[in-house]
Amino acid sequence: MLLEENKAIVRRFIETYNKHDYDSLDEFMSPDYFDHSHQCDREVAKQLFIMGFKAFPDWHEKIEDIIAEGDKVWVRLSRGGTHTGEWNPVWAEIAFPPTGKKITTMAVDIYRIVNGKLVEYWNVSDGTDFQKQLGLIEYTEKGKKLFPEDAK
């Protein structure tokens, strides 16, 4: 039964995230929560959520698959939004002005849950595709020939 409970926690967390209900996130995230993908704690992670939603106010994540094993839950997500606000990703030293482009991606998120709270998080996604969709990365002439469908 614990596996189903853990999956339900992740489902509710993603629903809360999609509603931009930042005040309720502490109900899901333990005080010692750690985001391995961004190397940050709970408070910084919540600030990253806020920054992301300012850049992509219609950002939405949909669970496509969810699997639980032990104290971890894996979620395959389809996700996307429209870049209508300034975006300042953690890996860049500059902010990117709005492009108006609609972005769609897939990701796998992994959560570790202890005593009903999210304590650790990992994200696996194709950041290059995301950046390409925003127009931050362009194919070289050789790349356009090798991947004509992707280079559009």
User: Structural domain boundaries of the chain?
Assistant: 2-125
Each residue of 19-39: pLDDT tens digit? 999 889 999 999 999 999 999
Where does residue 52 fall: left (phi above 0), alpha (psi -120 to 50 degrees), or beta otherwise? alpha
What is the rounded average pLDDT of the residues 41-62? 94
Window from 47-51, 67-71, 81-85, 87-91 with minimum mean pLDDT: 87-91
* Topology of the domain covering 2-125: Nuclear Transport Factor 2; Chain: A, (3.10.450)
> Residue 18: which pLDDT band, with cuts at 50, 70 and 90?
very high
Nearest partner of 102 among 62, 57, 137, judged by Cα:
57
What is the rounded average pLDDT of the residues 118-144? 88
**Average model confidence (pLDDT) across the chain:** 92
- The CA distance from 89 to 91, in Å, is 5
Query: How large is the C-alpha radius of gyration of the chain?
Result: 17
Residue 85: pLDDT over 90: yes
> Residue 143: which pLDDT band, with cuts at 50, 70 and 90?
confident
Full-model pTM: 0.88
Whether the CB-CB separation of 49 and 25 falls below 8 Å is answered with yes
